[in-house]
Chains A and B, each alone.
Chain A
Amino acid sequence: KAGVTQTPRYLIKTRGQQVTLSCSPISGHRSVSWYQQTPGQGLQFLFEYFSETQRNKGNFPGRFSGRQFSNSRSEMNVSTLELGDSALYLCASSLQGTANEKLFFGSGTQLSVL
């Protein structure tokens, strides 16, 4: 079974631009969560999607948005990029997104904002 796939692996953008990151969960997994990882803040929860609906949200500004498609694939968008958005963005999937479930992480997208 293929793991969680994130594309692209690396991205370089400039301030003010927008970016879209993609995540394909493990086949059969319906929950997708997104995290931002930086050396200073660690892993921070962005949002969680299940059946095309955002069920949980972290404390990020509205510039960060996401969506999930009917095949459970998810995209994350960041508009009006700031230097502080430079980070590793990790996507994780699980079967139903229940509280006890294990998360399977992708390899991440490394975003650099210049």
Chain B
Amino acid sequence: QKEVEQNSGPLSVPEGAIASLNCTYSDRVSQSFFWYRQYSGKSPELIMSIYSNGDKEDGRFTAQLNKASQYVSLLIRDSQPSDSATYLCAVNTGSGNTGKLIFGQGTTLQVKP
């Protein structure tokens, strides 16, 4: 079983719709969770981080975390064509408080005008 799993997609949504991206992870002790966005030919960039159960909102983005179910999700409201990219779920599995970020395969999102 992979440490971080995502549906590779592509996930296709019409402009203005809500895009829902999901991720599961295997390490029960993980405490830090991230969503990175990667445009084609570019490097990943952080869009959201979440550390405690529940929802965290930032503009059109909402991250949701359920540690009991080992599940993280990202909702993108009012999706725009510029949101078309690969979304990478990442979970920190480093010992102590060190950084060892493990990424999922990524979900490709296509927002159609």
Q: Which residues of A contact B (CB under 8 A)?
A: 31, 33, 35, 41-45, 48, 50, 55-56, 58, 90, 94, 97-103, 105-108
Contacts and interface: CB of A to CB of B under 8 A. Distances in A.
Given A42-B105, A43-B88, A56-B94, A101 B99 contact: yes
B43 A106 contact: yes
Nearest to B45: A105
Given A43-B88, A90-B43, A48 B98 contact: yes
A103 B46 contact: yes
Contacts, number: 67
Contacts of A97: 98-99
A36 to B, nearest CB: 11
A26 B81 CA distance: 31
Contacts of B101: 33, 45, 103
Pick the 9 closest A-B CB pairs, nearest first. Answer: A105-B43, A56-B100, A43-B103, A97-B99, A42-B105, A99-B92, A99-B32, A102-B46, A98-B97
A42 B99 contact: no
Nearest to B3: A45
A71 B77 CA distance: 42
Given A55-B94, A55-B98, A99-B97, A105 B44 contact: yes
